[in-house]
Amino acid sequence: MKRYSRITGTGSFLPTRRLTNADLVAELATKGVETSDEWIVERTGIRARHFASDGVHSSDLGLEAAKMALQAAGRVAQDIDLIIVATSTPDMVFPSTACILQNKLGANGCAAFDVQAVCSGFVYALAVADSMIQTGAAKCALVVGAEVFSRILDFKDRTTCVLFGDGAGAVVLEASETPGILASDLHADGKHVGILCVPGHVSGGGILGDPLLKMDGQAVFKLAVGLLESAARATLAKANLTEADIDWLVPHQANIRIMQSTARKLKLSMDKVVVTVDQHGNTSAASIPLALDAAVRSGQVKPGQTLLLEGVGGGFTWGALLVIL
Catalytic residues: 119, 252, 282
Give CA–CA dist 102/267, Å, rounded: 41
Give CA–CA dist 130/141, Å, rounded: 9
Residue nearest to ligand ACO (CB): 217
Q: Is 291 in the site for ligand ACO (CB under 6 A)?
A: no
Contacts of 240 (CB under 8 A, 6+ apart): none
Residues 101-160 that bind ligand ACO (CB under 6 A): 119, 158-159
Evaluate whether 10 touches 170 at the Cβ level (below 8 Å).
yes
Nearer to ligand ACO, 35 or 116 (CB): 35
Contacts of 200 (CB under 8 A, 6+ apart): 207, 208, 209, 210, 211, 212
Q: Is 192 in the site for ligand ACO (CB under 6 A)?
A: no
Residues 236-265 that bind ligand ACO (CB under 6 A): 252, 254-255
Closest approach of Cβ 241 to ligand ACO, in Å? 25
Nearer to ligand ACO, 131 or 159 (CB): 159
Q: Is 273 in the site for ligand ACO (CB under 6 A)?
A: no
Evaluate whether 243 touches 310 at the Cβ level (below 8 Å).
no
Tell me how far the alpha carbon of residue 280 is from its chain's centroid: 11
Binding mask 296-325 for ligand ACO (x = CB under 6 A): ----------------xx------------
Q: Is 196 in the site for ligand ACO (CB under 6 A)?
A: yes
Closest approach of Cβ 290 to ligand ACO, in Å? 13
H/E stretch holding 108: none
Q: Is 43 in the site for ligand ACO (CB under 6 A)?
A: yes
Q: Which of 18, 19, 188, 221 binds ligand ACO (CB under 6 A)?
A: 221
Residues 50-109 that bind ligand ACO (CB under 6 A): none
Q: Is 286 in the site for ligand ACO (CB under 6 A)?
A: no
Evaluate whether 297 touches 212 at the Cβ level (below 8 Å).
no
User: Cα-flanking dihedrals φ and ψ of residue 111, to 5°?
Assistant: -65, 140
Q: Which of 20, 35, 134, 176 binds ligand ACO (CB under 6 A)?
A: 35
Within the chain, strands assigned E span: 4-13, 18-20, 48-50, 82-86, 111-115, 140-148, 166-176, 181-188, 196-197, 201-203, 206-208, 214-215, 248-251, 306-313, 317-324
Total residues in contact with ligand ACO, by rule CB under 6 A: 22
> Any bridge partners for residue 214, and if so which?
197
Q: Is 220 in the site for ligand ACO (CB under 6 A)?
A: yes
Q: Which of 217, 230, 241, 265 binds ligand ACO (CB under 6 A)?
A: 217
Footprint on this chain of ligand ACO (rule: CB under 6 A): 35, 39, 43-44, 119, 158-159, 162-163, 196, 215, 217-218, 220-221, 224, 252, 254-255, 282, 312-313
